[in-house]
Amino acid sequence: KQMDDAGIKYIPSNAFSYYDQVLDTTTMLGAVPPRYNWNCGEIGFDVYFLMARRNAYVPAMEKTKCFDTNYRYIVPELGSDVKFSYASHKVVDEYKEAKVGVEKSFSLIDKILLVYREVMAELKAAGATWIQFDEPNLVKDLNAHQLQAFTHAYTALESSLSGLNFLI
């Protein structure tokens, strides 16, 4: 509301994380390892912080350094035992807050892209006109396989981006 009142044209949203943005994306995709006994639905703080911190019975997910910095982030555990679903609506909820004051044999990347399409559709329906993708790997020299994977991903998302401006 304060930014809008100050005349700022594009109000940012989803700029806050309770732990880190990689964990936020992991929970949005519903990529919860089975050891956390999550049974679908919206991921709450109990599962979110259990994944980040651990308790006496369940270990936390691994953390790794971001490039050569002291910043550490959660490493997603992606595998065939993870059932992807749109499990955290944080992105859209925060956008709305800022604005107002198939089970085929898909590859792992295709399953993730299905969730991203849902997120983008809900953002468009909520009135978003811009989406920004933060992908640190794009600053590196990519091999042919990695470049092909990014090309596939963005091509698959292209139709979902219709009517939206986006930054990569």
| Paired sense of beta strands 72-74 and 165-167, if any | unpaired
Q: Which residue has the tokens 């519903």?
A: 30
pLDDT of residue 106: 53
pLDDT of residue 1: 67
Q: Which of 20, 21, 30, 18 is nearest to 118 (CA)?
A: 30
Cβ atoms of 106 and 114 closer than 8 Å: yes
pLDDT of residue 86: 94
- Distance between CA 84 and CA 31 in Å, rounded? 5
pLDDT of residue 39: 86
2-166 CATH fold: TIM Barrel (3.20.20)
- Distance between CA 81 and CA 31 in Å, rounded? 9
> What is the pTM (predicted TM-score) of this model?
0.67
Per-residue pLDDT of the chain (168 residues; tens, 9 = 90+): 677 777 777 777 788 888 999 999 999 999 999 999 898 899 999 999 999 998 889 999 999 888 888 888 889 998 888 889 999 999 998 888 777 663 344 567 777 888 888 898 898 899 988 888 888 778 888 888 888 888 888 888 887 878 787 776
Q: Which of 13, 9, 162, 146 is nearest to 89 (CA)?
A: 13
- Distance between CA 146 and CA 124 in Å, rounded? 29
Cβ atoms of 92 and 14 closer than 8 Å: no
- Distance between CA 114 and CA 106 in Å, rounded? 10
Tell me the two tokens of residue 115.
């969730």
Q: Give bridge partners of residue 74 from the DSSP assignment.
A: 63
pLDDT of residue 102: 33
Cβ atoms of 45 and 52 closer than 8 Å: no
Break the chain into its structural domains and give their ranges: 2-166
